[in-house]
Amino acid sequence: MGPFTYVRAVDPVEAVGVVSADPGAAFLAGGTTQLDLMKDGVLSPEKLVDITRLPLRGIARTGTTIRVGALTTMEELAADPTVAVRVPFVREALLAGASVQLRNMATIGGNLLQRARCRYFRDPSVAACNKRERGSGCAAIDGVQRMHAILGTSPHCVALHASDVAVPLIALDALVHTRGTDGTRTVPLTGFYLPPGDTPDVENVLRRGELITAVEIPLPAERTRTHYLKVRDRASYEFALTSAAVAVELDGTTITGARVALGGVGTVPWRAWDAEDVLRGATVGRDAFREAAEVTLAGARPLPGTAFKVELAKRTLIRALETVTGAP
């Protein structure tokens, strides 16, 4: 890790001011992505503003939403009783993501901003990476492809968004509260991430120095059942090959409400709007689930090395829907 100026922030407004004014500055929260990428030489900020002492921690229930301070750790959020009872798939996704050690460090704000796991992005000895340097090319498209995205890709980038918890959060229409130099604003998570297009280095709508202060999780109706299914190369502590977050409301065997998102397949956490349209009003069963899966992956653009993910993602979604509805 190269040298940098370390600054311990004591006030959110000042922290935002420092990073906004200095192109060489970055925030430091849990550090599990930031320090890792600095060791690898992918990031080399001249100044790190440590925000971990800011009063942005804790979980508050307010009526029909849960407001989660951005510095709340993954372990803390997973342990929240309201999360466990009302949106258990958020808890499942948190516990399926990373190890306990990392979950004790990683914050919910940082989780949403985690960088791609693409091995070409993470290896500065590879010159071609449009995410590291716009216009330099993409070594991943012709490289080892197994962990890349199949939805939302562009000819310039196929890097996957690897967050687990962002998948149920985007299904729930979570809101991201931020503070910038112009004050505070609220961005829906569904509009927070930007697909790579021809600027893969721009990953979200945050402006320089804009800080996530809280994530707001709307609670679905009490009778909603949820489930997060993650498929991976080993049983624990591994990134998703594919995953599915589903939340459904049933009236008998009729699906009256459905929220669906996929992980492991998109350049951004993938909200499956078309699947929701198929499922709403449908009868619980393999026919509707298969159709929902087909429409979701209809736009997939796999590489030879990711072709297996298309059917795997469909089956992951079908299995998740079977589990959550108790379908035979």
* Residues making contact with other proteins (CB under 8 A): 1-10, 14-15, 18, 28, 31-32, 35-36, 39-40, 46, 48-50, 52, 75, 98-102, 104-105, 235-237
Nearest C-alpha neighbor of 107 from the set 75, 77, 74? 74
Beta-strand pair 25-28/47-50: parallel
Other C-beta atoms closer than 10 Å to the C-beta of 322 total 18
Which CB, 82 or 104, lies closer to other proteins?
104
Which CB, 7 or 128, lies closer to other proteins?
7
Which CB, 209 or 220, lies closer to other proteins?
209
CA atoms within 13 A on the CB side of 149: 26
Least separation in angstroms between CB 316 and other proteins: 20
Least separation in angstroms between CB 224 and other proteins: 26
Q: Specify which residues 293 forms β-bridges with.
A: none
Least separation in angstroms between CB 300 and other proteins: 29
Would you call 227 helix, strand, or coil by DSSP? strand
Least separation in angstroms between CB 41 and other proteins: 12
Least separation in angstroms between CB 179 and other proteins: 15
Query: What one-character DSSP code corresponds to residue 138?
Result: B
Other C-beta atoms closer than 10 Å to the C-beta of 253 total 11
Nearest C-alpha neighbor of 244 from the set 256, 231, 262? 262
Residues 6+ apart with CB under 8 A from 43: 26, 34, 37
Least separation in angstroms between CB 11 and other proteins: 8
Rounded to whole angstroms, the Cα distance separating 85 from 79 reads 11
How many angstroms separate the first and last alpha carbons of the chain? 54
Q: How many helices (H) and strands (E) does the chain have?
A: 11, 12
Which CB, 8 or 185, lies closer to other proteins?
8
Which CB, 36 or 274, lies closer to other proteins?
36
Rounded to whole angstroms, the Cα distance separating 262 from 244 reads 4
252: burial class by Cβ within 10 Å (0-12, 13-18, 19+)? exposed
Least separation in angstroms between CB 71 and other proteins: 12
Query: Contact 94/78 with Cβ under 8 angstroms?
Result: yes
Nearest C-alpha neighbor of 159 from the set 192, 114, 219, 103? 114
Least separation in angstroms between CB 109 and other proteins: 16
Which CB, 9 or 288, lies closer to other proteins?
9
Query: Contact 154/196 with Cβ under 8 angstroms?
Result: yes
Which CB, 40 or 294, lies closer to other proteins?
40
Which CB, 45 or 266, lies closer to other proteins?
45
Which CB, 4 or 308, lies closer to other proteins?
4
Least separation in angstroms between CB 245 and other proteins: 20
